[in-house]
Amino acid sequence: MAVGIFDSGLGGLTVLDAVRARLPDLPLVYLGDNANAPYGVRTADDIHDLTVAGVRRLYDAGCDLVVLACNTAAAAALRRMQEGGEVPPGKRVLGVFVPLIEALAERSWGDNSPPREVAVQHVALFATPATVATRAFQRELAFRAIGVDVEAQACGGVVDAIEDGDMILARDLVRSHVEALLRKMPAPDAAVLGCTHYPLIADAFREALGPGVRVIEQPAIVAEALADYLSRRPEFAGAGGGATFLTTGNPARVSERASRFLGQTITFEAA
């Protein structure tokens, strides 16, 4: 038994890398739906259907627990899957969105106390157009914190550029999107990178935002939340370590790009 990590493409590798560092003995199966990436410009129904298909593929690969390492999938599909009975008995699906919000709201996992004031008051959210459209971030944050002003910026084109390996274009787009956000919210306290692709160019966000803005990335936060979850639900943790990489796209092409992004050799197989 392994823990599955699902993403629309390469972004979830940032989460997998952090999970392997935090839980080196945890066996993992990664599935990138590269044939259908990016999800950020798709409709909610498309995202839901593709996410369900990806999660089922990971169940078939022996994963009882799947982490949606894609904010767009987590925002658009996770709650619908859980409430619609699409998670079979004995299986679990977790998303990367809630751990991020819990960190921002200074809460531990499972803290269901009433919303309260937190240190940050002005938050910039950078995410895909589809994630922004769901308003899932604002909804989940409101359950946990009060008095927080959120300004969301839909970062069209950034994921496409990263997936295509055009980091120059990705950085140019980041600067443009940050400038657009700062025109709406000139002095954010914190900036949330609400896409698991964005840590690959987090330095571009930091440079554009300036030194006074706390930039919050997901990988380490999600890895710590997963470690906490498995400490309480050890039946979902296998043993033996190692990782298998699956893709709906071209395995050779995806392997080359993934290896370049993470600076280590990664070999994908056809899903």
Catalytic residue positions? Answer: 70, 195
User: Which residues does 92 contact at the CB level (< 8 Å), separation at least 6?
Assistant: 64, 65, 66, 233, 236
Q: Which amino acid is residue 144, in one-letter code?
A: R
Q: Which amino acid is residue 207, in one-letter code?
A: E
Contact 173, 161 (CB under 8 A): yes
Contact 91, 84 (CB under 8 A): no
SS3 annotation, 233-258: CHHHCCCCCCEEEEECCCHHHHHHHH
Q: Quote the CA–CA distance of 10 and 200 in Å, as a whole number.
A: 10
Q: Quote the CA–CA distance of 98 and 109 in Å, as a whole number.
A: 9
Other Cβ atoms closer than 10 A to 49: 14
Contact 218, 103 (CB under 8 A): no
Torsion angle, CA of 232/61/247/156, rounded to 10 degrees? -40
* 263 burial type by CB count under 10 A (0-12 exposed, 13-18 middle, 19+ buried): exposed
User: Which residues does 172 contact at the CB level (< 8 Å), separation at least 6?
Assistant: none
